[in-house]
Structure 1
Amino acid sequence: MSFSRTLLLLLMAGQTAFGMDIITLPTPQSSQDTRGEYKNAVLYRALELTTSEYGPYQVNLNGPSMNRKRALLEIQEGQLINVYFAPDDPSWRDLTLPILIPIRRGILNYRLLLIHQDNIDRFANITTLEELKALKMGAQYDWSTKSYLENYNFTIVSGGSYEGLFVMLENKRFDFMLRGAHEIFNEVSQRATTMPHLTVEPHLMLYIPTPTYTYVSPRHPRIAKRIQAGLEMMTKNGDLKSIFDHHFSDEIKKANFKHRKILFLEESHKQQILNAPNIWFNPEQEAP
């Protein structure tokens, strides 16, 4: 095997080659998918903070594009990708090395409704979960949110891809999508020209406990230990909140938390925030 091919395989596998930790993540699922920007910024900071103990690092953001189901298979092998960020899921915790620090501070727990503007009046008088369940929700087939809400008897129309869901909503294949309060306004803005009928429902918010964790290939325990150490430092020195504020403060203002009806599926959020106020997003204190 040639030297260049050997080096390429080492890079893709994320081996600690030549004293350097190499982290490989998948390419975003579409050209308009910017969800990884914040998570990557957190990752870079965690790696930088641990340089004195673990040495140099390299991050490859150009791994193969893949949905979450395939990512779970690939990360177990640790060759094409070795790090992945995803909402909490028992399968991921069992089959990877999970780092259970909520890198998005639980902001994904707070979901706004993306709807077709022709249907805005249908949502105006909704005040209960039962009323919302009477409508059809769109979700990607492998999202943990889909199976979670199916257990609460939501009617869900499955989509095959992230970008395809927006197209389906524009064509009224379902009534709403749930999007994080930190991401929905940017998603609408990006598609304003090609999908002009997408809009944010103005008065509802759904609380679903879905913290985002970092999952590392079981073949790369050193990388897992390094990221864990870096994230722990970031929760203590304030770096995690600083990056969070930099990326999401404008979106949180637009979400208008204080003037929305929040429908709770679970009440566990209150204890989470009280137990770790430096980690979890607290809308009562941080949302204007």
Structure 2
Amino acid sequence: MPLNFTLISILNVAFVCMFFSHSAIAAKDQVLIQKIAYSDIGHEDYYFTHLISLALSKTEHQYGKASLVEQSYRNIDKRLRSELHARNIDVIWSPTNEELETEFLPIKISLLKELGNYRLLLIRPEMQPEFSKVKTLNDLRQFKGGMSSQWTDAAIMEANGLPLVKAVGFSKLFKMLAAKRFDYFSRGLYQIQTEVNRYPELQLVIEKDLMLHYPNHVYFFVHKDNKALAERLTAGLELAMKDGSFDTLYNSIPRYRWGLEELNQHRRRVIYLDRTAKDVR
């Protein structure tokens, strides 16, 4: 989602509507999300905002019409979690973990399907010969990765003995990689194809031989007391999966199609990380 909140991150979307359950009990009129450029299909959050819209449209007959409304909040993981706690926003999406599922109400539908489980590496081009020698997890431990200190992925990688240089933020990690502060930047298979071209002046490339794997489901999360919204999104997503519109949206994202093609080529060495591992450093 790099939520972890997926940033790329977590998005808050607001929609104005009245929610009605089968017993005709109304929920709040307005739901808020962070303001982003979600009209750009290359943007990290395009898919998630359009998926929310799709789920809402599928349930209009039961809950009434709804429209998305933007709110201005800084796109920082901990800030967005705080705003969700305060009910200043109503939905976030992120790779799940135990802490999130305790704090909030998860909608346990894997939004990225299998793409969320795989990661590729951004590197400096001169490092490719060194990474081509990597055959095992232990080999990869000889290199330093870069990661946001707020992302779930950082804890997983460190628990598997992978040394990391951590920072707060996202864009600075690309510059730190180019400046040789670390050797690689692990990015989601669903993210990396557009990100590699985001900073052409840095001359970063996608590593050619490796792929990381660990279970990594991205869910929508709402406030624990907002069961009406959870029920509506769940119902809408299930209807979209049943009628094929979920897959139509999913497959319309160019970088998702690229990721699926890359995955189906089976040409990379897959290094498996244990999501339940204790720190082995």
Query: Using a 3 Å threshold, how does the CA distance of structure 1 residues 106 and 255 change in structure 2: closer, same or farther?
Result: closer
Structure 2 residue 172 is matched with structure 1 residue 164: yes
Structure 2 residue 130 is matched with structure 1 residue 122: yes
| Whole-Å separation in 2 of the counterparts to 1:191 and 1:146 | 23
Mapping for residues 86-101 of structure 1, pairs under 5 Å: 86-101=94-109
Q: Which has the higher helix share?
A: 1
Identity of aligned residues (%): 27
User: 1:21-47, CA deviations, whole angstroms, 9 ceiling, x for partnerless residues?
Assistant: 533222359xx9821011112111111
Structure 2 residue 159 is matched with structure 1 residue 151: yes
Q: TM-score, normalised by structure 1?
A: 0.80
Q: What is the aligned partner in structure 1 of residue 250 from structure 2?
A: 244
| Whole-Å separation in 2 of the counterparts to 1:13 and 1:40 | 10
Is the CA contact 1:14–1:78 (under 8 Å) kept in the aligned structure 2? no
Q: Return 5+ residue gaps in structure 1 as ranges.
A: 1-11, 269-288
| Whole-Å separation in 2 of the counterparts to 1:92 and 1:68 | 12
Shift in Å at residue 256 of structure 1? Answer: 6.2
User: 1:46-91, CA deviations, whole angstroms, 9 ceiling, x for partnerless residues?
Assistant: 1110111000112123431232122222211111x21001001111
Mapping for residues 74-223 of structure 1, pairs under 5 Å: 74-79=83-88, 81-192=89-200, 194-195=201-202, 197-223=203-229
Q: What is the aligned partner in structure 1 of residue 8 from structure 2?
A: none
Q: TM-score, normalised by structure 2?
A: 0.82
- Which residue identity lines up with residue 269 of structure 2 in the other structure? K
| Whole-Å separation in 1 of the counterparts to 2:84 and 2:217 | 20
Shift in Å at residue 220 of structure 1? Answer: 2.5
RMSD, aligned α-carbons = 2.5
Secondary structure of the 2:266 match is: helix
Is the CA contact 1:120–1:201 (under 8 Å) kept in the aligned structure 2? yes
Aligned residues: 252
User: 1:163-210, CA deviations, whole angstroms, 9 ceiling, x for partnerless residues?
Assistant: 111111111111111111121010012222x32x21000010000211
